[in-house]
Amino acid sequence: MDPEELLNENSNEEKKPESPLVSLENDLKLYSDSIKEVAVEIMVEGLSRYPIFVAHQHEVKLGEVILDREELNTEWTVQASTLEEFIEKGIIKPVLKERFIKSYKNPNEYMCMFVIVPEGANFVYYPYQHE
């Protein structure tokens, strides 16, 4: 990396406030076992092969609350959903279903998080914590 790139990279870092994703990562470390348990349950019960967890700090009408930030005194609430519900609600267009499935990571290794922040929402795959 040349000095100019380094300078630009550093100046960008200083301007950014701490990302809300830092607090999300802290919560996901705490929630990891519980989320994995729910993911396995969704798959074993045949509800879906593609569990999706919705992380947010507001109110969201998608899936079911499994970890409530107010009850747990954390920053993020997590709700359990599925690919099927995302298609049904129009979040994932049916024509993009196959692309989503191809990019979906192993649900025994990664939680598929749909992270909602004021700027928008995005899918993030976060590895389960291994003890």
Query: What is the pLDDT confidence band of residue 11, given thresholds at 50, 70 and 90?
Result: very low
110-128 per-residue burial string, b: 16 or more CB within 10 A, e: under 16: bbbbbbbeeeeeeebebeb
Please state the three-class secondary structure of the chain as a single string: CCHHHHHHHHHHHHHCCCCHHHHHHHHHHHHHHHHHHHHHHHHHCCCCCCEEEEEECCCCCCCEEEECHHHHCCCCEEEEEEHHHHHHCCCCCHHHHHHHHHHCCCCCCEEEEEEEECCEEEEEEEECCCC
Domain ranges of the chain: 20-127
19, 51 in Cβ contact below 8 A?
Answer: no
- How far is the C-alpha of 53 from the C-alpha of 61, rounded, in Å? 13
pLDDT in tens, 16-64: 456 777 899 999 999 999 999 999 999 999 999 999 999 999 889 999 9
pLDDT in tens, 62-71: 999 999 999 9
Q: What does pLDDT average to over the chain?
A: 87
The reported pLDDT for the residue numbered 8 is: 46
Q: Cα dihedral sign for 8, 11, 12, 13?
A: positive
The reported pLDDT for the residue numbered 76 is: 95
Higher pLDDT, 2 or 116: 116
pLDDT surpasses 90 at 12:
no
The reported pLDDT for the residue numbered 21 is: 77
Q: What one-letter code names the amino acid at 27?
A: D
pLDDT in tens, 85-128: 999 999 999 999 999 999 999 999 999 999 999 889 999 999 99
